[in-house]
Structure formats: C-alpha cells, structure tokens
A = this chain, B = another copy of it.
C-alpha cells in the first residue's frame, strides 16, 4: 500500500480554500520541485461542499483535483467533520459538546461537536457519504483521513446526548441495575441506583469526586463513542474508495483506544509530530532529566505499537503558536531534518509537513508552515529540498521495522485508571518517565506493547525482557498470558501495586498481589507511600544500590520457589524485601515493590543484560538517540544529535553513510542537530 513500505515519501498539508485558485497550480508545481508528492486537503472545508444544509456543491474541490491530476500530485482527502459549519451548530446546538456543568462549547474554535448527537451523526455521515461518492474514484486520490485529531482539544463529553448515550452504554454492558450497582460498588456513600434514569455521565459533585468505577466506565464510553464515530465514516468510505486507497486518521489523543480504532476502521495510523513544543517560551524547562524534543520518540514508539510502519501526517516545519497561547521559536537550521529523521527512525515511511504556507487568518497565524506569509523562498524550504535528496539516498529503508528486544507493557484500562486515581497516577507517571529517559540515555531501544485481548504468546516472544510496572488492574487471563511468556524464557519485571483491583477498579479482598501472587511467588503483608519526611530510600539488590520512589511494599516470598533479592535501606521497613525473583519455566519473573527511578531502570537493564544492544557497533554519547530499522538481513542505524553542540561518535565496525556513500569507521563528528543514517555492513 502506498506510503508504507514502498518508498520514503514527502507530503504536505494544503488548504486550497485559503488561497486564490490562481495560486494553486504554482504551489503544486513548487511542491513537486521541492520533492513533495502528496497533499492532504479538505479536513476543515465542510462549507466548501455543503454551504447550506442539504445544499451540496462539488465544484471547488473538483477544480482543485483537476489541477492536482494535471500536475501529477497525489491527494489524501480529509473528511471535514472536525469543524461543523456555523449553520449546523446554530440550528442544532445539541450537536455541541459541553463541559461538566453543561455549558456548551460554541462555534469559533474546532472539535466543539459531540459524537453522540443523533443529528450530528446523521449530518456528518451524509457529508462523508457525499464526498466519498463524488470524489472516491478520482485517480489522484490515494487515501482518506477521517476527521482530524480525534479527541484533541477535548477528550471528555458532557452534552445531553452523551448523558443519554452513556446510560445506554452501561445498560448494554450490565443488563441490570443490580449488576451495575455491584460493578460500581454503589453501596459506598449510598450511591445505589434504583432506576436507569438516575444514571448520568459524571456531573458536578461535591469536592469534584465521583464514583471511580463509573468514571472508568465513562472513559471506556468516550473511547467507544469516538471509535464508533470513526467507524461510521470508515464504513461509508469503504463503499466508494478505489481499490488500494487507504483509510487513516492522525494523532494520538486521550480517552481513546487507538489500537482498537485502528483494527476496526483504519489501514494504518498517522501521527502529528511537533517536537518544537519542547521549546515553547512558557513551557520550556532546562531541568536535568527534561528530555525536551527527544520525548517525541516516546510518542513515535506508541504510534509504532499501533502500526509498525506508519506515516506522519503533520511534521513540524516552522514555529508553533496560536494567537492565544504557545510561543515557540523558528526551528534552528537542522532541526527540521532532525525531527524528520526521528520520525523515520521510529518507523515512519511518509512525512507530510504541516503546512505548505503559513495561515494568515484565524487562531493559527503563528503556526508556521514551510513558507512564511509572503510565500518567498526561505531557509526552511531549502532544508526540506535537502531532506528530499536524503530520502532518495535512503529509500530502501522503506518497509523496514524498528528493532527492540525490550518491551514496556501498556494497557488502556490501567492508563485510564491512572488518570482517575491519583495513587495509581503518581506511580505510573514516575515509572514511565524514568523508564523512557533511561532507555533513551542508555541507547536501549524498546517497544510499547499494548496488552489487549488480541495479544498472544507469539506477539511477546520476541522480547527478552518485558516491563509492566503498575498494573493495578490485572485479570486472570492476562496473568496466564504473562506466565506463558515467562515459561518460554521471557523475563518479566513487575513494579509495585499490581493486581489490587479487578476489571471494574474495585479492590480485591485477597492477599496482595492478588492474581499475581502465585505466579510471582510474592506476598505483601504491608505497604506504604514513602513518607515525605523519609530520607532517600535505597534498595540493595545483591550488592547493587538503586533508589526506590513513591511507594514501598514490604515483600515476603510465598514459598521457597521465590527469593528476596533486594531489601530496603531506610525507615521502619529497613531490611524488608523490596525485590523478589522467581524462576518460572525457562524464564524469570521479578516483583519490585516500588516505582522505577532512572537508576533502578539502569540496574534492571544491566542485570538483565539488555542494555545498549548496539554498543558493539558504535560508541555514542548520551545526548544522541540511537535506533535501528531492519528488513530481512539489512540493518540501518540512525544516530540523532538533539543538542545545539556537536557530538562525537566512534564507529567500531565499518558502516555505509547512506547520504554520502562514505564508509564510517572510528571517530566521526555529528554537527549540532546532526543525523547519521548508516547501513550496517
């Protein structure tokens, strides 16, 4: 399928409706000159097709597509449902989203609609059907983008339609009020429901505290609503699109199971990558441990867990900024290339720059595209021309896969539970941050592994080590799967606070860690948050020291199949168990009674012998990221320098620099923001 696996391709986002028709052809020609082959269009252009309710007119994009075909430009067609017309929301305010107090979000920004209003479902399905029917067979079209950035701006919905849909959602899920009351533990604070009409999506409550089990279901409901909205569009487009044309959507946002959305409705996911957010004047921090633009590698890894080879629908090409917030500098020379290659290193085969020309009107006048307001040639378009040349030199990378032997397990139930539960959330935040940073700084590539019902032993067996730090919610089925992984030789590293909740987020009345106890061979007679007046808590793991954080479970072994291998060094639990190990089949399971820290992750990676797998190929400073994409026997090494100072790399084996065809061996200097893409010989 085009954009994945055949070549590395450049694109851009184009807004024909912003410019005079006389500019279109010149712009397309100039894109081709720059090496850009694809444009995404139409995702905010509902009025251009249906300027009044039920009044459809296709001329505008017909004219544009005519020119695109004449100029041999490929087109990704966006459905325009992220920005309903003024006539729609004025006539049907029930289509609008609302805040928790019921105040509507009105026309003037974007994504102010809700997924569950019947009238919006009908009118948005109709515009998609009309567009797909009319434009579906145009030869220039290669694919479709559904809506734009699903769940961006808001990922909570409180319109009247949402309250009704939530009621139906839980009615379908639980069947009876008895079951719902049991699942939600409504006996607490006398919350028992006695009539379905008493059920609402979360509303304003005293102390802003609502039943957590309901909130967990509410997040699931939001995800379901968004997925259903996307699927309705996907089903329509499939009826009309040409064979081989793809369906995608762009970005990763909250309260949305993107993995399932992708399976249900998309051919692959695309991501919108804006690493320059790290340099916004108000947001910037140079605290130690801030990974700045390098943090986008985390998002790209998450994207890859959905689609191993993917696209970037919007790649940073200028300063970001709205008129109301976000003041960021123009990317420095080399940064556009760096961030482009960051995307490619993690699995992107398609890079589409946002946007061709900088918008001159509206909220996004400071969200700079390739060209500034005047449209004159500038440093940034020249850099992108060079990127095109580089892509030509490295094109065989397309279709190759990112290489990782370490996995970090994630699952949506626990992600959402950690949002609504501050005890869980603090742990998750700490451990995820520590893990990502240490993996990056030690040049240990890793994958996110999304644990859902589709995952099998086979999906896991490629990983030498899997981390799963705080699975508050853990089922028997998941335990069985993890056990098989370990029995087959895998190593599983659990953190604290696992398996103390069931699938509804209710605490289990068992000895902890619940369903994991036998598997991990561990018992937890006592636990505590690390008190704020406790000095640094050191865990001693067979002579190696590492710092604990946030929480301290005091571990015992269940029986002699497991061993305590680490103990705490502080407070009243000094000397009690902090880390256990149990051999299971050919593998091992570790249970760690605390949250991860930068140094404890490093110790785990070292002791489990998965740190720095490409250390035999090159010595690279911490400030550079290292990544490898492989295809069959071919191996492509990426080295990315995120600093404004040069970096010195020492190649231990000869490689071929794909951009220059030079052989790389010994000391090589990367310029500031410099990148090397090398084939391992």
**Inter-chain contact A190/B328, CB cutoff 8 Å:** no
A154 interfacial contact with B, CB 8 Å: yes
A97 interfacial contact with B, CB 8 Å: yes
> How close is A472's CB to chain B, nearest CB, in angstroms?
10
**Inter-chain contact A532/B375, CB cutoff 8 Å:** no
**Inter-chain contact A323/B532, CB cutoff 8 Å:** no
A507 interfacial contact with B, CB 8 Å: yes
Q: Which of A5-13, A84-92, A609-617 contacts B (4 or more CB under 8 A)?
A: A84-92
**Besides A279-B533, A281-B426, 8 other A-B contacts (C-beta < 8 A):** A18-B187, A109-B207, A187-B361, A188-B363, A319-B529, A329-B534, A360-B506, A533-B644
Query: How many copies of this chain does one complex carry?
Result: 3
Q: What CA separation (Å) do A209 and B321 show in the bound complex?
A: 12
Q: What CA separation (Å) do A186 and B623 show in the bound complex?
A: 44
Q: Which A11-45 residues have C-beta < 8 A from chain B? A: 17-18, 44-45
Q: What CA separation (Å) do A421 and B214 show in the bound complex?
A: 40
Nearest B-chain residue to A379, judged by Cβ: B526
Q: Which A253-295 residues have C-beta < 8 A from chain B? A: 279-281, 284, 286
Q: Is the interface of A mostly helix, strand, loop or mixed?
A: loop
Q: Which residues of B contact A359 (CB under 8 A)?
A: 188, 507
Given A188-B361, A507-B361, A532-B284, residue A204 in contact with residue B106 (CB < 8 A): yes
Cβ proximity bits A141-178 to B, threshold 8 Å, 1 near / 0 not = 00000000000011000000000000000000000000
A104 interfacial contact with B, CB 8 Å: yes
A residues near B (Cβ < 8 Å) are 17-18, 44-47, 51-52, 80, 83-87, 90, 97, 99, 101-112, 153-154, 184-185, 187-195, 197-198, 200, 202-214, 279-281, 284, 286, 319, 321-330, 332-333, 358-366, 372-376, 378-379, 420-423, 426, 500, 506-512, 525-534, 571-572, 644
Q: What CA separation (Å) do A281 and B322 show in the bound complex?
A: 35
Of B18, B333, B372, B511, which is within 8 A of A374 by CB? B511
**Inter-chain contact B189/A83, CB cutoff 8 Å:** yes
A-B contacts, 29 of them at CB < 8 A, read: A17-B187, A44-B190, A47-B190, A86-B194, A86-B198, A101-B103, A105-B204, A108-B209, A109-B209, A109-B210, A184-B361, A188-B359, A188-B364, A189-B362, A189-B363, A207-B325, A209-B323, A209-B324, A211-B363, A319-B529, A321-B423, A322-B422, A323-B423, A329-B532, A330-B526, A332-B572, A373-B500, A374-B509, A378-B525
Q: Which residues of B contact A421 (CB under 8 A)?
A: 323-324
**Inter-chain contact B106/A200, CB cutoff 8 Å:** yes
Q: What CA separation (Å) do A279 and B187 show in the bound complex?
A: 29
> How close is A367's CB to chain B, nearest CB, in angstroms?
11
Of B84, B154, B197, B572, which is within 8 A of A333 by CB? B572
> How close is A560's CB to chain B, nearest CB, in angstroms?
21
**Inter-chain contact A507/B279, CB cutoff 8 Å:** no
**Inter-chain contact A528/B319, CB cutoff 8 Å:** yes
**Inter-chain contact B373/A109, CB cutoff 8 Å:** no
**Inter-chain contact A206/B323, CB cutoff 8 Å:** no
**Inter-chain contact A512/B373, CB cutoff 8 Å:** yes
